[in-house]
Amino acid sequence: MDREETVEDLLRRHAPQVLGALVRRYGHFDAAEDAVQEALLAAAGQWPESGTPANPRGWLIRVASRRLTDQLRADEARARREETAARLEPRETRAAPSDDDTLTLLFLCCDPALAPAARVALTLRAVGGLTTAEIARAHLVPEATIAQRISRAKAKLRDHPFHPPGPGDRDARLATVLQVLYLIFNEGYTATSGAALHRADLAQEAIRLTRAVRRLLPREATVTGLLALMLLTEARSAARTGPHGELIPLDAQDRTRWDRAAIAEGTALVEEALSEGPPGPYQLQAAISALHDEARAPEDTDWPQILALYDVLVADWPDPMAELGRVVAVAMARGPEAGLTELTALEPRLKDHHRLWAVRAHLLERTGAPEAARAAYEEAARLTLSLPERRYLNTKAARLGRSGEPS
């Protein structure tokens, strides 16, 4: 890795923590974000020449704090200068600092004053570092809609003091925090667009943040379940792509490349989470991932048990992607024709999503309908914005041949 890449990685990693520190100290979310951006630009210009400071995070906080306080002072009238100086006193003198400033930022972005959709969008932008376009694709909504949500959320948080969640709103804010971390992880594990299938920086940051939340809430089954799900899923990442970045599906992966240490940790965590109370969606998905990871070969996968877990998941927490996963489990446990029958019910909600067409193509191919399968693969390739997925789907279609016969 060259020096420029090192600086870029450092800035990406520290940006949410620096923003969280400024918000905790001074409030003024919108102005703090501008100050952090100025500090990042200053670092990007200076560090490649002068060298990275021994404490990059501290350097960024000092520079951003100076920019923020200068700006706030400039915005105040001379007659209110004394009042402004009092308000600029860092809040650590009145409250103990958070263990992780990124967690402060997480809970601020999940403030109950914001609408749920705005909380998710703002957190993905401020903490996850996703672009507005990436957030829009993850939510299947127009980019302008996400931009408006983020703008309104920032406006609502302007000069809004941060308060840690209390007993009355903790569960709601925690649920949103976990949902956001899950979305960040998903974008990292399978990027919704671009040349790379896997964005390891996002996936690892989501895991790091979830570990931090679990340190604060070690007996919270939903947190434990989400961390287990991430570890069990990310454990397969090294085997998901070939030497040229091509996608390798689960049943064709070299399972010796799976991270057995992560699988062992994730399996222990999911067992712990399931023992702490009724299973929630993260615990159930983690249990499904554990069954996949425990299978030494594709034919060893316990599909009936996976289907039973999906039945519980979609009954209590219906979600189109979970229902699509259940369709695959039905096909593997009962045959592709049964899977195609189940897939029909999902068409009205997922007809424009490439994953529905990819599953349809796979099941049609298994039933001996290559021409229909080829057309479905081509439609899936047309709909996806991920280049590795598009190449994989087009390759599958090409192998079936234009006549519908395998080439």
Whether residues 337 and 380 fall in one domain = yes
Amino acid 87: pLDDT:
47
Whether residues 185 and 123 fall in one domain = yes
123 inside domain: yes
Amino acid 98: pLDDT:
44
Whether residues 115 and 87 fall in one domain = no
Q: Give this prediction's pTM.
A: 0.76
Q: Give the span between the Cα atoms of 122 and 12, in whole angstroms.
A: 17
Name the domain boundary from 193, 217, 241: 217
Whether residues 81 and 111 fall in one domain = no
Amino acid 161: pLDDT:
65
Q: Give the span between the Cα atoms of 194 and 209, in whole angstroms.
A: 25
Whether residues 133 and 55 fall in one domain = no
29 inside domain: yes
Amino acid 14: pLDDT:
84
Burial of 145 per CB tally in 10 Å (0-12, 13-18, 19+): middle
Whether residues 84 and 164 fall in one domain = no
Name the domain boundary from 61, 91, 121: 91
6 inside domain: yes
Who's near 107: CB < 8 A, 6+ residues apart? 162, 164, 165, 173, 177
Whether residues 36 and 11 fall in one domain = yes
Is the Cα dihedral 390, 332, 250, 314 positive or negative?
Answer: positive
- Find tokens 């100025």 and name the residue: 38
Which stretches does DSSP call E strand in 41-195? Answer: 193-194
Whether residues 149 and 118 fall in one domain = yes
172 inside domain: yes
Amino acid 327: pLDDT:
98
Total count of domains within the chain:
3
> Interior CA angle at 290 toward 214 and 222, to 5°?
30
359 inside domain: yes
Q: Give the span between the Cα atoms of 21 and 33, in whole angstroms.
A: 11
Amino acid 97: pLDDT:
40
110 inside domain: yes
Q: Are 108 and 25 in contact (CB under 8 A)?
A: no
166 inside domain: yes
308 inside domain: no
Which whole-number Å values give the CA distances from 162 to 20, 23, 119, 263, in the listed order? 10, 7, 14, 37
Q: Give the span between the Cα atoms of 390 and 203, in whole angstroms.
A: 22
Name the domain boundary from 217, 252, 272: 217
pLDDT tens by residue, the chain, 407 residues: 344 446 777 787 788 888 888 877 777 777 888 888 888 888 888 888 888 888 888 899 999 888 888 887 776 644 454 444 444 444 443 333 444 677 778 888 888 778 888 888 888 888 877 888 888 877 667 899 999 999 998 888 876 666 667 777 778 888 888 988 998 898 888 877 777 788 888 888 889 889 988 988 888 999 999 999 999 999 999 999 998 888 999 999 999 999 999 999 999 999 999 998 889 999 999 999 999 999 999 999 999 999 999 999 999 999 999 999 999 999 999 999 999 999 999 999 999 999 999 999 999 999 999 999 999 999 999 999 889 999 999 999 999 975 445 54
- Find tokens 């799900």 and name the residue: 229
Q: Which phi and psi (to 5°) does residue 343 adopt? A: -65, -30
Question: How many residues would you count in the chain?
Answer: 407
Q: Are 231 and 185 in contact (CB under 8 A)?
A: no
Whether residues 132 and 55 fall in one domain = no
Q: Give the span between the Cα atoms of 358 and 374, in whole angstroms.
A: 10
Whether residues 33 and 137 fall in one domain = no
Whether residues 209 and 140 fall in one domain = yes
> In this structure, what token pair is assigned to residue 158?
């302007």
Whether residues 123 and 64 fall in one domain = no
Amino acid 92: pLDDT:
42
Q: Give the span between the Cα atoms of 41 and 374, in whole angstroms.
A: 48
Q: Give, to the nearest 10 degrees, the angle between helix 354-367 and helix 370-383.
A: 170
**Maximum CA extent, the chain:** 82
Range of the domain at 176: 100-217
Amino acid 82: pLDDT:
44
Is the Cα dihedral 81, 157, 41, 65 positive or negative?
Answer: positive
